Amino acid sequence: MKCLIPNPLFVQNLSKAMSQDGASQFQEVIRQELELSVKKELEKILTTAPSHEFEHTKKDLDGFRKLFHRFLQEKGPSVDWGKIQRPPEDSIQPYEKIKARGLPDNISSVLNKLVVVKLNGGLGTSMGCKGPKSLIGVRNENTFLDLTVQQIEHLNKTYNTDVPLVLMNSFNTDEDTKKILQKYNHCRVKIYTFNQSRYPRINKESLLPVAKDVSYSGENTEAWYPPGHGDIYASFYNSGLLDTLIGEGKEYIFVSNIDNLGATVDLYILNHLMNPPNGKPCEFVMEVTNKTRADVKGGTLTQYEGKLRLVEIAQVPKAHVDEFKSVSKFKIFNTNNLWISLAAVKRLQEQNAIDMEIIVNPKTLDGGLNVIQLETAVGAAIKSFENSLGINVPRSRFLPVKTTSDLLLVMSNLYSLNAGSLTMSEKREFPTVPLVKLGSSFTKVQDYLRRFESIPDMLELDHLTVSGDVTFGKNVSLKGTVIIIANHGDRIDIPPGAVLENKIVSGNLRILDH
């Protein structure tokens, strides 16, 4: 806070607090002064907003102020580890039990009360692509967005329903997404969009906004950020779309990340929500799935002060991180596939009663400036809803594409594509997904595609590790455990038609039995 220039009133309050020897009073004075400084900076920024953007910008900055106020109030890890308990047996239901209830005859009328919401705020930069991640081709030239539209169109045609698609864009993805939406004009899916908020990044030292005006081009490009998907509740409500959909008779939203190709509409879960077995309406369902060693950092559902609560690794005190990662104690993690009551979102938003822990995300801007951005996660709100439930779903409902290693899996013959949905091939003997680790030469989609003349046959693969300058010819088959490592300066070209089964291929092109 050394960049703050204290005003005379501040100095007077400070000396008063110090004379009373109250460390907490001293901190309170600092906090109030900081809030006042931030308020003034935000007011200055608001004056630069053009008239047509004024109301929208004001809502964003008001939202940020509330978040910043909470950030200053909170101290240390946000959970008391001693209070964390395993959830009661009946609070996380096995999917098989939900499915066993079957489907009613009126499934069409149940579907007509559903809205599909995809979180579409992310860019493809981590995979070396410009623009929205949802526009990256993932299968047979189809993008994430294409597959989503195909899935919902198939539902609407099969059941003669009107399930709309809502995209939550960010200021980073909105323009490019809207351009592409024209191509779906003739599809049987109504598509709506709304934007998540735009919050100012704050200087790590002074805790003041980096932005000087509302623009987000030129010098200001890095001054703003979308504040995590927990922002969905406020921005959906503020957009007016929430009220519109309630007015059309919609009751639930199914929310998921657009890059999770396993997150399709599940009729059994929807029926469980619409026709609860105990007659008590469930306002929030979180799909969880069993942890593997690869998922130890995923958020987990716990019982905390009598409510279901999502605990993320960032909230865990350092001394308990290993315990949190334990697959034996916390067996499940959050897939971020969520089913939420629209009426409950409206009620809680109007009562200002949605409580989500703050995630403090440190970043370094291109110029070297250290900043922090305050974020929230959509699943963290579970504790604010009534009669919440976890459903332990099959792993197939969690198929995220975060890297080109994930992309290789979904492009391969491990999966078949039908009406926008990917399902594991019946020819694979084991239902588990192989572990694939592609090295840094494959990080960018463009480089990855250049290194495969065709996607290898992976039906019998268990584990693939590739490192260094490696290319694959056509019709290569990979089985068992395959490790290919090209040393620095070497290049390995796997020849067309090669069958590698339990092999280690090293830098000098020797092929060894594994």
- By DSSP bridging, strand 142-143 and strand 137-139 are antiparallel
Q: Which two tokens stand for residue 71?
A: 């950030």
Please state, in angstroms and rounded to a whole number, the distance separating the CA atoms of residues 178 and 29.
Answer: 47
Please state, in angstroms and rounded to a whole number, the distance separating the CA atoms of residues 149 and 425.
Answer: 22
Residue 402 annotated to the active site: yes
Residues 387 and 283 sit within 8 Å (Cβ to Cβ): yes
* Ramachandran quadrant class, 475 (left: phi over 0; alpha: psi -120 to 50; beta: rest): left
| Of 190, 204, 212, 402, catalytic | 402
* 402 among annotated binding-site residues: yes
* Residue corresponding to tokens 């704050």: 202
* 259 among annotated binding-site residues: yes
Closest CA to 253 of 315, 184, 340: 340
Q: Exposed (0-12), middle (13-18) or buried (19+): which is 324, by Cβ within 10 Å?
A: buried
What Rg do the C-alpha atoms of the chain give, in angstroms?
Answer: 25
Residues 289 and 255 sit within 8 Å (Cβ to Cβ): no
Residues 227 and 373 sit within 8 Å (Cβ to Cβ): yes
Q: Could you give the C-alpha distances from 354 to 231, 471, 475, in angstroms and in order?
A: 11, 50, 53
* 196 among annotated binding-site residues: yes
Task: Say what the alpha-carbon torsion angle 311, 372, 319, 330 is, to the nearest 10 degrees.
Answer: 20
List residues forming the annotated binding site for UTP. 133, 196, 228, 259, 402
List residues forming the annotated binding site. 133, 196, 228-229, 259, 402
Q: Which residues are catalytic?
A: 402
List residues forming the annotated binding site for substrate. 229
